[in-house]
Structure 1
Amino acid sequence: MVAADSAGARPTMRPSFRRGERFMVAVLVVVCLVVGIGMLIALLRSIRSTNRTPASRPAVPAPRPAGGAVSRPVVPLDDDATARFDVTPVDLPRQPLEFAAPGQAGRLFSYGGDVAGHVLPGPYAIVDVETTGFSPAGGDRVVEVAIARVDASGRIEDEYATLVHPGRDVGPVFVHGISNTDIRDAPRFEEIAGELLARMEGAVVVAHNAAFEDRFLAAEFARAGVLPPMSPALCTLWLARRTLRAPNHKLTTLARYAGIPTVDAHAALGDVRTVAALLPHMLRAVGRPLQYPVGFRRMPQLPREVRPLTRAVELRRGSEGWMASLMARLPLSAADPRDGDAQRYLESLAIALEDGRIVGTEARELARLAGSAGLGAAQVAELHRQFLESLRELALEDDILTAAEIRKLRTAAQAVGLPDHFADLKPTSPQDLLAAGRIPGARPAICEHCFGTGHFRATCPELSTV
């Protein structure tokens, strides 16, 4: 409350109000201190768990021998193995790397750069993972993985992405946007390990802050009982510090400074695509071929039979529509749709397009159906083409195509992200109608006297005989 002195001077605060104000400030200070101390304790625990010694780690299916450096067995090659595969044994460090510098070796990757070794101009296998936390030694797991084969120009040749069931809680949803419901039907890592190894074989593995991917993938492969040979690898965080000037070297910052649009910044596939777009710029800035301590290795051949569970997040209508946004967020290619999955998707698409447009909720439902079926952008686009062709057949059932029908068809094509699909259509011309003996809208001649067809009253046979 406010009080004024007897002389009419400026108002002053009553003592009771001041005491209440000081009390509230004190409470806020105490709350901030408690929250800050809690965050500091959590950070220290995370750092401590990351730096645990091997003795405190959970047992893994493939224990390594004790003493000195750890020797990784090389996968034996067939007699017809080509010279591009390296068979030199590699010693491994016991402690995980904190940063992937050239010449160092992690659990899976041997890092190249400004070192002497093999000149490997590509191809590249860019990989990214989303995880439940920061420490695989502390029990954190992979919840999403994406990998793309890319040539030296940054052209993506193949993509694979899937959610992964971690066998535990997914961790902080606000970081990766993946809920426990999302991963309920996802494959486990051991079921998709073959997909990763097939794309890593004969390629330089690339990741942004590759030591992170190294630790988690090594732990996941070990749990699956798989020990892949050492792969040549490149850390784009190290490469960016050498070649790009930016306030920091986070992936989103680098993309913004390079003028590269980003999609799905918190999804593994989005990060893989951003690295693929940045990689050619950084390689050109180096000005000379990078070298790697090891060459390409043969990878174990594992089954590749489980369908991925893809996701499309951060859907936006944008200038090209909801479905173009959906296809941009799916991997280029994935599993071929099963009949039941394809039918459910097409039925939902037909319902969504009943009013001639697709809104956000309908696009998200279609994204859910595509993801649960493990479909990629190529498979979804093919289903959309099948749907549009069925609309074409319906429109041409009477062999007449009007301008209004063409407008409706092109509106549907625009809505599903294929705006040029009906670019070949033209309205049926009057000449074509005459040639076919059909004139739309013309009524047959009806006599007003006898009500017969084919003549009018003036030429009615009944009247002419009267």
Structure 2
Amino acid sequence: MNSGIATRRITEMPVAVIDFETTGLTPGFDRVVEVAVVRIDPGKSPRLVFDTLINPCRPMAATEVHGISDADVASAPKFKDIAGELLTATQGCILAAYNVYFDIRFLNYELANAGVMHQPPHFCLMYLRTMLGLGTRCKLEDACRFHSVEFASSHFASQDALAASQLYACYLSEIQRQGVATFADLANLRTYKFNSSFGCSPFPDPTTFGLRRFDKLVSRAGVAAPVDPTRQAIAAYWDALKTVLADLEITEEELEYVAAERARGGLQEEQIRVIHARAFVSVLSQFAADRWIDDRESRKLKRLNACLAKLGWAPGM
């Protein structure tokens, strides 16, 4: 990696923590319905710089996870409307997300629709925890609890991005303690797919892509998340499952982690079937996007099916 940000010092690089709420797991079929950006400039505290609901131009789905309805987004902007604002908020930054493999796929899809074909440097806060030897992969809520970061399990993009940014502050201290200076040094700790993005350059000024500013945002900021035990249980199980699906290398330990979350939430069998069906269809559609499913992908699908079966239901049962 001889270009991009690989040789930049981590402590001197601004970070934009992003979080999306979506209608599901599959970019294209599913769409973004909320986006938030928390920016962390060197030496400064995290600050929420962008937050809006998005009209997905399709019927709402996954309301049981994020609580967003069709009525909530009826007057919200479309993603292409706010693309310039989003790039302004993230300009010059390396992007971070708690499950970056999920968020970056949606970001790339939505920006491509807005005419932006640019791969920004990015890293995953969920995997950064394992890179630094701080623990195994887990939900954002569990990581916050472990590192004493205040977190309200809400699936409000702004609240989740703020919590993730506080986690980054904890991890940055550990990065400095371990003497990891540059992003190239970080990549040497452990091999993950996002390491290759360190050879990319941050987003430039949005006018580079002909994008304009847009100020008609619709935010849930200041709205208290409703207390709904069923929705919280569904969201918690969804998050646990999405965590282990990040790389589709599902270990027995991870399977036990998801099983414990299911037992804790007390979800009904019908609810489990819906969640598992969505997860399997999403992975299948990703693999089939190039109209070819190779042996490696076939093995991953079989493993996923077996894991979902152990958790209570899988396609074909």
Question: What TM-score, normalized by structure 1, do the two folds share?
Answer: 0.41
- Kindly indicate whether residue 90 of structure 2 is the aligned counterpart of residue 200 of structure 1: yes
Native 8 Å contact 1:207 1:234 kept in 2: yes
Equivalent position of 2:144 in the other structure: 255
Q: Following the alignment from structure 2 to structure 1, what is the Cα–Cα distance between the partners of residues 226 and 64?
A: 17
More helix per residue: 2
Matches within 5 A, 1:395-406: none
Equivalent AA in structure 1 for residue 13 of structure 2: G
Equivalent AA in structure 2 for residue 231 of structure 1: P
Native 8 Å contact 1:206 1:233 kept in 2: yes
Of 2, 27, 48, which residue of structure 2 is paired with 1:136?
Answer: 27
Q: Following the alignment from structure 1 to structure 2, what is the Cα–Cα distance between the partners of residues 244 and 192?
A: 38
Matches within 5 A, 1:283-302: 283-286=172-175, 287=178, 288-291=180-183, 292-301=198-207, 302=211
CA deviation after TM superposition for structure 1 residue 299, in Å: 3.5
For structure 1, the residue ranges without an aligned partner over 5 or more in a row are 1-86, 89-109, 317-466
Equivalent AA in structure 1 for residue 217 of structure 2: P
Equivalent position of 2:163 in the other structure: 274
Deviation string, structure 1 residues 391-430 (Cα, Å, up to 9, x no partner): xxxxxxxxxxxxxxxxxxxxxxxxxxxxxxxxxxxxxxxx
Change (3 A) 1:200 1:160: same
Of 104, 110, 119, which residue of structure 2 is paired with 1:230?
Answer: 119
Native 8 Å contact 1:118 1:293 kept in 2: no
Of 98, 123, 127, which residue of structure 1 is paired with 2:18?
Answer: 127
- Kindly indicate whether residue 116 of structure 2 is the aligned counterpart of residue 211 of structure 1: no
Of 120, 123, 132, which residue of structure 2 is paired with 1:243?
Answer: 132
Of 188, 200, 224, which residue of structure 2 is paired with 1:313?
Answer: 224
**Structural RMSD (CA):** 2.5
Q: Name segments (4+ residues, structure 1) moved above 6 Å.
A: none
Native 8 Å contact 1:161 1:269 kept in 2: yes
CA deviation after TM superposition for structure 1 residue 293, in Å: 2.2
Matches within 5 A, 1:98-117: 117=7
Identity of aligned residues (%): 32
The aligned length equals 204
Deviation string, structure 1 residues 86-145 (Cα, Å, up to 9, x no partner): x96xxxxxxxxxxxxxxxxxxxxx8x8xxx5433432111101000010014x1000000
Larger Rg: 1
Q: Following the alignment from structure 1 to structure 2, what is the Cα–Cα distance between the partners of residues 181 and 221?
A: 24
Change (3 A) 1:184 1:264: farther
Task: Using CA pairs under 8 Å that are at least 6 residues apart, name the structure with larger relative contact order, 1 or 2.
Answer: 2
Q: Following the alignment from structure 1 to structure 2, what is the Cα–Cα distance between the partners of residues 237 and 128?
A: 13
Q: Following the alignment from structure 1 to structure 2, what is the Cα–Cα distance between the partners of residues 271 and 202?
A: 22
CA deviation after TM superposition for structure 1 residue 163, in Å: 0.4
For structure 2, the residue ranges without an aligned partner over 5 or more in a row are 184-197, 228-317
CA deviation after TM superposition for structure 1 residue 263, in Å: 3.1
Q: Following the alignment from structure 1 to structure 2, what is the Cα–Cα distance between the partners of residues 308 and 134?
A: 24
Change (3 A) 1:117 1:247: closer
Equivalent AA in structure 2 for residue 262 of structure 1: F
